[in-house]
Amino acid sequence: MSCHLVLGDFAAEVLRELLGPYADIRIHRDDLAVGPLIDIDHVYPAARIKFWNQVFPLSSFDFSDVLPAGNAQLAALPEELTLWIGTSCGEALLLRRLAWWRNQAGESFKLMIPDTTAVKSYVAGQVPLSLLSTAQIESASSKLVSPARLQTLAQEWQALCQPTSMFRGWNGQTFRHLDETALDAEMLDLLTDNYLPCSQIAGFWIQASKDFFRSDVLAMWRLRCLAAKGLIEMESHPDQYNLFAFKVRKNFI
């Protein structure tokens, strides 16, 4: 029986509508555009686990279990495998990561990339599979990744895993390495000396992304970091992890 791999639960829901309730759909859940990749393919990726615990300390996931399980998943995928992706940064990274794992095992996989040109997205040129309709996905055709292409993608993944940056952007052809400074500068530009809802600031910051899909969890983490540096002031509230719980302003002192 063939196996199908997607990035994220929403993509899996869309694919399930197309393939039916009994299809073997595996879900990869790590956001590869964010965080260190230096040890991501290790049995226990300690640096990546530490990062996600800092970003999302109240997560229902235990990253000490979830991230190693993601590696075990990639290692145990069956020979008859199809990867379904859109054109987002995270999916472009998953393509290369899967290629590295399959190249190590001497196996390839089929690739399905539906046409996304008619679909709008707030990150220009990036449309994840989860935003596509069943009809748009159904029109795609699969193609086996050639040995030469597999090796090239695997080498690209190895290069991306070097400690170059904490974040990665994608323009459809190449990856761009980003650091916290640029992201924080965008956040600070949205703030004034008057208190504004964190949810409002996060929403604008997420919509401003040109490189990868940002999340409210990522926004909340950067706000906490800016507050720790004394660059912003958070309105006192017992729950400093909830975007909707409090307000924030620039600290001009």
- Report pTM: 0.93
Of 145, 39, 38, which is closest to residue 98 (Cα–Cα)?
Answer: 145
pLDDT of amino acid 71 = 94
The chain-wide mean pLDDT, for the chain, equals 92
**Based on the domain organization, do 43 and 106 belong to the same domain?**
yes
**Based on the domain organization, do 79 and 193 belong to the same domain?**
no
Last residue of a domain, one of 112, 145, 170: 170
pLDDT of amino acid 99 = 98
Q: Do the beta carbons of residue 169 and residue 212 sit within 8 Å?
A: yes
Q: How many domains does the chain have?
A: 2
Dump pLDDT digits (tens) for 28-63.
Answer: 999 999 999 999 999 999 999 999 999 999 888 899
CATH of the domain at 215: 1.10.10
pLDDT of amino acid 140 = 84
Cα(23)–Cα(1) distance, integer angstroms:
9
**Based on the domain organization, do 21 and 129 belong to the same domain?**
yes
Q: For residue 125, what are its two tokens? A: 């040129």
Residues in the chain with pLDDT values less than 70? 1, 237-241, 243, 252-253
pLDDT of amino acid 50 = 96
What is the span of the domain harbouring residue 246?
Answer: 179-250
pLDDT of amino acid 243 = 66
> Given phi > 0 = left and psi -120 to 50 = alpha, else beta, which region is 73?
alpha
Alpha helices in 134-251 (DSSP H): 134-138, 147-160, 180-189, 198-207, 216-228
